[in-house]
Amino acid sequence: MISDRDSYAQFSAERLAAARRVLAAHTEVPWTGCCRACGRPAPCDTRVAAHKVLNSRGRAAVATQ
């Protein structure tokens, strides 16, 4: 049986892994200034959202220390 705490940790880890995949894929193409994955002007909304996920994890880690 999975506790709420374990399932939250699992969810959180998957969210972070997904955010890292987004950052790896949604990079700016230097000669166009657009996102390599979706073609929107970089940084695209997808990349910005992934950054927020990773940054909020950082703040939470600091707050618990």
Q: Using CB under 5 A as the criterion, which residues of the chain lie in contact with Zn ion when the complex forms?
A: 26, 35, 37-38, 44, 46
The sign of the torsion formed by the CA atoms of 24, 28, 29, 30 equals: negative
Shortest separation between residue 22's beta carbon and Zn ion, angstroms: 8
C-alpha–C-alpha distance, residues 44 and 58, integer Å: 21
Q: Please, which residue, 24 or 60, has the CB nearer to Zn ion?
A: 24
Kindly tell me which of 10 and 55 has the beta carbon lying closer to Zn ion.
55
Q: How far is the CB of 51 from Zn ion (least distance, A)?
A: 12
Question: Minimum Å distance from CB 9 to Zn ion?
Answer: 28
Length of the chain, in residues: 65
- Give the up-direction half-sphere exposure of residue 46: CA atoms within 13 A in the CB hemisphere: 19
